[in-house]
């Protein structure tokens, strides 16, 4: 019943229930059952009806005859069941107590009638807007009649504000004794309508229209009528606000002017939701348009109700297929959007924009130029703060002067808002519907269009914060984010000024830095296509600096997306051209050199990468006045190269130096470079066996990294895997498995099944499952990883070979010692050939192979290999290190445990016992007494030395 009578009447009937705190929350009114339960819980004053019954009786006074009767019958029935008939009868009042049946319909006073004037015909095709209608009903019902606040329904032109309010009126006619619709686009229209209302109410006219209006408003405030006044199209607040009543009833204003929100309550109307657009088009055309075509047409028209109505009318008139209509829109948008004025709308889209622009050009030329800028800007909002950069740019006058004057630009924004051409949010971001933008574009003659385009390009170039690698503060990132959607509409790629094209390059790099590798590549591709064939400037053409920089960005994005082979080809060609045409030590050449080193590492050429990156850093340092962040980037790459060859001590020194230099500038909290380097330091500590130190770094800085970059950013994903593998080595196996399992899914979703990062995550998760006892699950993952490495990197690649080691460890855990031996033997021989005998990965393979020999009863071979591996480990592990509190590397100690077992197996029991005792003591000191490997060692087990694939 409550759902049928509507929320307006329900609010009016609350009575004492309006003071119940739970019912003051508008959210509860979405659920009638919840409302009833709250009312039921309220205590009844002694001798009076329960509050819920009193509410129903009051509600019956406010609704039509049929519903009133149903509500009264319900009240009488419940009252009888509660034995509260007398109190209900008292609540009904004397007039109702005379009825034989407490539920009898209420009789309407003789002669009563609804006064209605100016209300347009109802739109029988009204669609959607359910939530907005409910909000309008709730806010009107909750208002006080002692102090009326106008309810402003605002929004840009063409979104259907009037249609929304009109639908509300027709749904709630029975709630009012008087409904009056006033055309409010001018004060004279309001006064004329109020004079008509005076005659309807029998009020003697005053000496003039203003006095008559006051008499009407006073009568409404003092009378007993339930009334609603609608001020339609009230865009000029100052001219009509004195003719808006302040007490006695309900007032709704439709407006394009947000300033009404400061006067009363505000509801913003935006374009349709897509399902509403589809419903409207199909309803208006009698389902003559399929859902798929309706969706396509709505997308093209930006869900603007006015444009949808025009398109539906055109279809009904011509029966033109939607695909053909959309095609015509591309060439004849102005003509098609000028066709016809839909019922309920004052004018077509083109007429609405044309009239507004003509008036602005006559009355406020600078404001008109500001609007015209949007013909070459994107559909995203444009902040006033961004527009202000035009004050220092080469922008047409008088627009440039306006952009330099805070008062004038705010006044211009207000005017555009009042015309309904621009939607302005609370952050002063201006948004123009894309259809309005297109119409604006069509209305500009050739000269004005050229001037406006040049102004937009120069403004965006001036707003460019510069190199994203140098300016990594939030303000610069926000500005880059805001500039991005406007680069293509403003044709920045083909702009005559190189500053505009450099803005494109900076945004390409920004997109890469933020992890949007696809769009970084896409924008760079488009730039290269234009610039390669453009010989208008020395920096353009196939070997121009800008063209080569864009190609470098393409290669960088391709590599991040896992397309390393084509990225290498493009990188090598571009690097050769840069060295030839720009020079060995040109900034662009040096920057691209970082990709050369990374490409080598991805190919498994770790030693060559170290040589190249060392020379690259020297070249960076030789260049005078090179910004420091370029040098730090080259140093970071050198640190990675040191990690890849197993020199974790030097890698940690280089990374620590980077952080020290950044911290000395006081930017460690804001610099992405610093956050990335902290994660690299954690990797250095992992390689050094300082797992607790690595966890401390990760847990201290990883949260800040995730705040600065999205969850799909490659550095964030890599940091998640680093966290998981460090947890595992620290002995927190369950936590590690949870982190690595989630990291695998995130990496797979972002980069796909075959990306290097995903394959590494597969192997890492497999290692964790194996230690937790899920050997079959571990093998499935590790074998999958091994197959993918073989397919994409080859049989002899280090990543393939170290995954073989992990598979061998899992095979042994499963009891398949023969398979483990074959895998380890091959991995050990090939890693020694590819990386050298002293590389940590080769030593891990040797450790694993020695265990295979021991399990196959070849004790002498096991001892010989264990001895060799341990001696090499003592040389290459760097010995005790400050990050481990000067303890030995856990892998060195584990190899000592294994050698002790081999020594005992070959008859050296006493020496073996001493070595085992010292090794276990060292592990206990390094890892802690409860660490799983310490427990295994104490129980007399051999220890495994699995490997985690390194980030390149």
Whole-number pLDDT of residue 337: 57
Residue 112 has pLDDT above 60, yes or no: no
pLDDT one-digit tens code per residue, 921-945 = 999 999 999 999 999 999 999 999 8
Whole-number pLDDT of residue 264: 63
Q: What is the mean pLDDT of residues 460-466?
A: 94
Yes or no: say if 551 and 529 are a contact pair by the CB < 8 Å rule: no
Whole-number pLDDT of residue 99: 40
Whole-number pLDDT of residue 846: 97
Task: Enter the DSSP assignment of 388.
Answer: G
pTM over 0.85: no
Q: How far apart are CA 119 and CA 532, in angstroms?
A: 63
Yes or no: say if 340 and 348 are a contact pair by the CB < 8 Å rule: yes
Closest CA to 298 of 288, 306, 308, 289: 308
What percent of the chain is predicted at pLDDT more than 90?
A: 51
pLDDT one-digit tens code per residue, 906-926 = 999 999 999 999 999 999 999
Q: What is the mean pLDDT of residues 392-415?
A: 91
Collapsing DSSP states into helix, strand and coil, what is residue 117?
strand
Confidence of residue 536 (pLDDT cuts 50, 70, 90): very high
Whole-number pLDDT of residue 328: 65
Confidence of residue 93 (pLDDT cuts 50, 70, 90): very low
Q: Per-residue DSSP letters for 348-361?
A: -HHHHHHHHHHHHH
Continuous segment of H or E residues that includes residue 148: none
Residue 516 has pLDDT above 60, yes or no: yes
Whole-number pLDDT of residue 90: 47
Confidence of residue 95 (pLDDT cuts 50, 70, 90): very low
Whole-number pLDDT of residue 305: 76
Yes or no: say if 440 and 375 are a contact pair by the CB < 8 Å rule: yes
Whole-number pLDDT of residue 619: 95
Write out the two tokens for 162: 């009037």
Q: How far apart are CA 653 and CA 453, in angstroms?
A: 51
Q: How far apart are CA 472 and CA 670, in angstroms?
A: 7
Residue 313 has pLDDT above 70, yes or no: no
Alpha-carbon distance values, 135 to 29, 627, 727 (Å): 10, 56, 51
Percentage helix, strand, coil for the chain under 3-state DSSP, each rounded to 5: 65, 5, 30
Average pLDDT for the chain: 85
The residue ranking higher by pLDDT, 708 or 156, is 708
Confidence of residue 16 (pLDDT cuts 50, 70, 90): confident
Whole-number pLDDT of residue 91: 47
- For residue 292, what are the contacts with CB-CB under 8 A and spacing of at least 6? none
pLDDT one-digit tens code per residue, 642-687 = 999 999 999 999 999 999 998 888 765 558 888 999 999 999 999 9
Cα 871 to its chain centre, rounded Å, is: 53
Whole-number pLDDT of residue 108: 31
Confidence of residue 57 (pLDDT cuts 50, 70, 90): confident
Closest CA to 168 of 126, 221, 217, 114: 126
């Amino acid at each position: 019943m409550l759902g049928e009578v509507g929320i307006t009447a329900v609010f009016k009937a609350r009575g004492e229930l309006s003071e119940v705190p739970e019912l003051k929350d508008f959210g509860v009114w979405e659920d009638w059952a919840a409302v009833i339960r709250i009312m039921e819980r309220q205590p009844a004053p002694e001798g009076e009806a329960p509050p819920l019954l009193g509410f129903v009786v009051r509600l019956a006074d406010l609704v039509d005859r049929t519903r009133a009767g149903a509500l009264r019958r319900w009240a009488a029935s419940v009252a009888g069941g509660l034995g509260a008939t007398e109190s209900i009868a008292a609540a009904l009042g004397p007039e109702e107590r005379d009825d034989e049946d407490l539920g009898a319909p209420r009789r309407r006073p003789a002669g009563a009638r609804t006064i209605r004037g100016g209300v347009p015909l109802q739109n029988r095709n009204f669609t959607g807007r359910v939530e907005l209608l409910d909000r309008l009903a709730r806010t009107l019902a909750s208002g006080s009649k002692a102090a009326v606040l106008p309810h402003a329904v605002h929004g840009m032109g063409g979104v259907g504000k009037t249609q929304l309010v009109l639908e509300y009126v027709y749904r709630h006619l029975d709630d009012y004794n008087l409904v009056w619709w006033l055309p409010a686009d001018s004060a004279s229209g309001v006064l004329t309508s109020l004079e008509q209302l005076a005659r309807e109410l029998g009020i003697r006219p005053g000496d003039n229209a203003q006095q008559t209006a006051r008499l009407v408003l006073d009568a409404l405030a003092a009378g007993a009528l339930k009334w609603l006044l609608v001020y339609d199209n009230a865009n000029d607040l100052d001219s009509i606000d004195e003719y808006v009543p302040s007490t006695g009833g309900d007032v709704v204003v439709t407006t394009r002017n947000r300033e009404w929100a400061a006067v009363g309550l505000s509801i913003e109307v935006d374009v349709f939701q897509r399902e509403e657009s589809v419903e409207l088009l199909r309803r208006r055309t009698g389902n003559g348009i399929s859902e798929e075509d309706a969706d396509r047409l709505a997308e093209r028209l930006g869900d603007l109700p006015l444009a949808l109505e025009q398109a539906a009318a055109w279809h009904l008139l011509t029966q033109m297929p939607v695909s053909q209509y959309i095609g015509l829109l591309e060439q004849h948008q102005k003509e098609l959007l000028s066709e016809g004025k839909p019922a309920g709308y004052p004018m077509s889209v083109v007429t609405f924009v044309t009239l507004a622009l003509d008036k602005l050009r006559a009355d406020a030329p600078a404001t008109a130029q500001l609007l015209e800028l949007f013909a070459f800007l994107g559909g995203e909002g444009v902040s006033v703060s961004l527009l202000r950069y035009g004050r220092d740019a080469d922008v047409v006058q008088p627009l440039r002067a306006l952009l330099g004057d805070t008062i004038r630009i705010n006044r211009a924004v207000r005017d555009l808002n009042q015309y309904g051409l621009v939607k302005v949010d609370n952050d002063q971001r201006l948004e123009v519907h894309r259809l309005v933008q297109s119409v604006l574009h069509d209305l500009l003659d050739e000269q004005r269009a050229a001037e406006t385009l040049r102004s937009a390009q120069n403004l965006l170039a001036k707003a460019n914060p510069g190199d994203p690698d140098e300016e990594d503060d939030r303000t610069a990132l926000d500005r880059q984010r805001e500039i991005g959607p406007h680069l293509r509409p403003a044709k920045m790629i083909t702009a005559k000024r190189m500053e505009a094209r450099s803005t494109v390059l900076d945004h390409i790099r920004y997109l890469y830095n933020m992890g949007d590798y696809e769009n970084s590549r896409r924008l760079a591709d488009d730039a290269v296509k234009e610039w390669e064939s453009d010989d208008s400037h020395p920096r353009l053409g196939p070997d121009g600096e800008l063209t080569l920089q864009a190609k470098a960005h393409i290669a960088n994005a391709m590599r991040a997306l896992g397309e390393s082979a084509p990225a290498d080809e493009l990188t090598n060609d571009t690097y050769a051209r840069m060295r030839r045409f720009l020079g060995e030590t040109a900034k662009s050449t040096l920057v691209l050199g970082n990709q050369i080193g990374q490409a080598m590492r991805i190919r498994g050429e770790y030693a060559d990468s170290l040589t190249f990156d060392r020379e690259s850093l020297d070249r960076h340092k030789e260049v005078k006045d090179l910004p420091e962040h370029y040098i730090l980037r080259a140093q970071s790459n050198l640190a990675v190269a040191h990690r890849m060859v197993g020199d974790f001590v030097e890698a940690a020194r280089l990374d620590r130096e980077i952080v020290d230099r950044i911290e000395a500038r006081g930017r460690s909290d804001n610099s992405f470079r610093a956050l990335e380097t902290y994660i690299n330091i954690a990797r250095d500590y992992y390689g050094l066996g300082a797992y607790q130190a690595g966890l401390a770094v990760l847990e201290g800085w990883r949260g800040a990294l995730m705040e600065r970059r999205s969850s799909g950013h490659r550095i964030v994903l890599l940091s998640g895997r680093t966290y998981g593998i460090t947890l595992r080595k620290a002995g927190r196996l369950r936590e590690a498995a949870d982190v690595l399992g989630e990291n695998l899914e995130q990496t797979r979703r972002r980069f796909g099944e075959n990306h290097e990062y995903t394959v590494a995550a597969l192997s890492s998760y497999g290692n964790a499952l194996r230690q937790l006892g899920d050997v079959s699950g571990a093998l499935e993952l590790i074998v999958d990883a091994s197959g993918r490495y073989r397919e994409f990197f080859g049989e002899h690649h280090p990543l393939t070979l170290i995954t073989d080691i992990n598979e061998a460890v899992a095979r042994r855990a499963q009891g398949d010692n023969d398979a483990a031996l074959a895998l380890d033997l091959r991995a050990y021989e090939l890693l020694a050939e590819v990386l050298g005998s002293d590389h940590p990965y080769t030593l891990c393979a040797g450790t694993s192979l020695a265990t295979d020999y021991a399990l196959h009863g070849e004790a002498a071979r096991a001892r010989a290999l264990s001895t060799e591996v341990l001696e090499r480990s003592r040389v290459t592990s760097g010995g005790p290190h400050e990050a481990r509190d000067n303890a030995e590397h856990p892998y060195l100690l584990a190899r000592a445990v294994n050698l002790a077992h081999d020594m005992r197996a070959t008859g050296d029991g006493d020496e073996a016992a001493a070595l085992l005792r010292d090794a276990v003591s060292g592990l206990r000191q390094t890892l802690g007494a409860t660490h799983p490997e310490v427990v295994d060692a104490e129980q007399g087990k051999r220890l495994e030395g699995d490997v985690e694939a390194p980030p390149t």
